[in-house]
Amino acid sequence: MEINLVSDTVTKPTQEMLRAMFKAEVGDDVYKQDPTVIELEARVAKMFGMEAALFFPSGTMANQTAIKLHTQPGEQLIADKYAHVYNYEGGGASFNSGVSCCLLNGNRGMISAEQVAGAINDPEFYHSPLTSLVCVENTTNKGGGACYDFEEFKKIRKVCDDNNLKFHLDGARIWNALVATKDNPVAYGKVFHTISVCLSKGLGAPIGSLLLSDKATIHRALRVRKILGGGMRQVGYLAAAGIYALDNNIERLADDHRRAKEIGAVLEKLNWVEKVEPVETNILIFSVQPNINEAVLMEKLKQKNISISSMGHGKLRIVTHLDYREVMHTYVLETLEKL
C-alpha cells in the first residue's frame, strides 16, 4: 500500500470520473465549439458571480495570464513572500509580463490591507516601478493551507480601488477555503477583478484550471492563452472531469481537512517534532527538532511506504487528498506514533 502525501495533485481519476470523461460531447475548443468546455466555463463563472470563464491547462498559465492582463512591462505587483506566482511559476511574472514583485512578510502567506497600502509606490515617483496589481492566494500553499478572513479581502479591494490597482486571486485551493470557512463564492466575484480556480487540486480532476472575470477581460485572456500555447482542441474530455468533480468532490474535502488535523494532533505529541503549524485545511507543515535529519526521517517513512515532501530548513509538508483513504489514514497515524 503506497501512501503518497506529497501533494493533492497526485490523485488519479476514479472509474466514475473516467466514465463521465468517455461520455463527453466534444468539439474544437480553439474555435470555441466544445460544448462541454462551454458548459464548465459557464457553470464556474456563475458559481462565483462572474460574467465569464476560460479553461486553461494549468493554474500557472491562468495566473500568468491574469498578471499579463493587469500589468505593463516595467510595472510591479504586490504579493506575499510565500506567493505561488513568485515562488513556483518559474519566474513567469518577469519572463512573460516583464514585471517585478514587491514581496510582503505576511502571516502564513496572508497579507493585510495595511501592508498593501504601505507597499504601493508613489505613482508620481518615476524612479520606482509603477504598482499596478495585488495578488493573493487562498488557501495559501507555502503558508500551510491557511484561509483568509473574507473581510480582509474587502479591505484590500478598497485599497486597490483607491490606488487604481487590480486585484487577482490565485484560488488554486479555493474549494478547500470555501468548505472550511463556509464563505459564499458569489461574494468573491464582487471583490476580485480576476480569479483562477484549479480542478486538479483537491477535486481530483486530472488536469485543468479556469480564469474568471468580466466578459471583456476574458475575451482579452483568450488571446494571451493562445500566445502562451494554451489553446487546446477536443478538451471537453478534461472539462467533463471538472464537471464531475464539481458535482461530487467538493463537500468531501471536509474529510481531507479532518485527517490533516488528526495527523497534526499526533505530531504535536512526538518528541522529535519541534513545531506543528496551525492546520485549517488539507495542508500540514511541521518542523523537526534541530538534531533530526529530515532526509533520514523521510527515508524512514518511505520504508513504511509513506511519502511526504521537504520544504527545506527542517520543514516538512503533508497534504491529504481524495486518494488518501481512511484505511491509509489509520496506518499513517499508527506509523507516526511508533516512529
pLDDT higher than threshold 90 for residue 120: yes
Q: Which three cell numbers stand for residue 295?
A: 532526509
Using CA atoms, how far apart are residues 132 and 192, in angstroms rounded to an integer? 14
pLDDT higher than threshold 90 for residue 185: yes
* pLDDT (average), residues 235-247: 98
Phi-psi region of 312 (alpha: psi -120 to 50; beta: other; left: phi over 0): left
Using CA atoms, how far apart are residues 318 and 6, in angstroms rounded to an integer? 6
Question: Strand pairing of 131-137 and 166-171?
Answer: parallel
pLDDT higher than threshold 90 for residue 303: yes
Count of C-beta atoms within a 10 Å radius of residue 50? 25
Count of C-beta atoms within a 10 Å radius of residue 259? 25
H/E element, 261: helix 253-267
* pLDDT (average), residues 177-195: 98
* pLDDT (average), residues 120-137: 98
Q: Which three cell numbers stand for residue 197?
A: 480556480
pLDDT higher than threshold 90 for residue 1: no
pLDDT at 230: 97
* pLDDT (average), residues 256-280: 97
H/E element, 187: helix 185-191
What is the set of domains in the chain, with CATH numbers? 3-9+251-338 (3.90.1150.10), 15-248 (3.40.640.10)
pLDDT at 236: 98
At residue 231 the predicted structure's pLDDT band, cuts being 50, 70 and 90, is very high
> What residues form DSSP beta bridges with 238?
none
Check residues 312 and 89 and name the one with the higher pLDDT. 89
pLDDT at 89: 96
pLDDT at 77: 98
pLDDT higher than threshold 90 for residue 312: no
Using CA atoms, how far apart are residues 229 and 150, in angstroms rounded to an integer? 34
* pLDDT (average), residues 211-220: 98
Q: Which three cell numbers stand for residue 310?
A: 521537504
Using CA atoms, how far apart are residues 137 and 140, in angstroms rounded to an integer? 5
Q: Please report, rounded to a whole number, the percentage of residues in the chain having pLDDT higher than 70.
A: 100
At residue 262 the predicted structure's pLDDT band, cuts being 50, 70 and 90, is very high
pLDDT at 13: 97
H/E element, 76: strand 76-80
Using CA atoms, how far apart are residues 294 and 339, in angstroms rounded to an integer? 13
* pLDDT (average), residues 180-201: 98
pLDDT at 191: 98
pLDDT higher than threshold 90 for residue 313: no
Number of H-type helices and E-type strands within the chain: 14, 13
At residue 224 the predicted structure's pLDDT band, cuts being 50, 70 and 90, is very high
Question: Strand pairing of 194-198 and 315-319?
Answer: unpaired
* pLDDT (average), residues 218-232: 97
Q: How many CA within 13 A on the CB side of residue 233?
A: 0
- Phi first, then psi, for residue 259 (nearest 5°) are -65, -40
Cell numbers 508620481 label which residue? 124
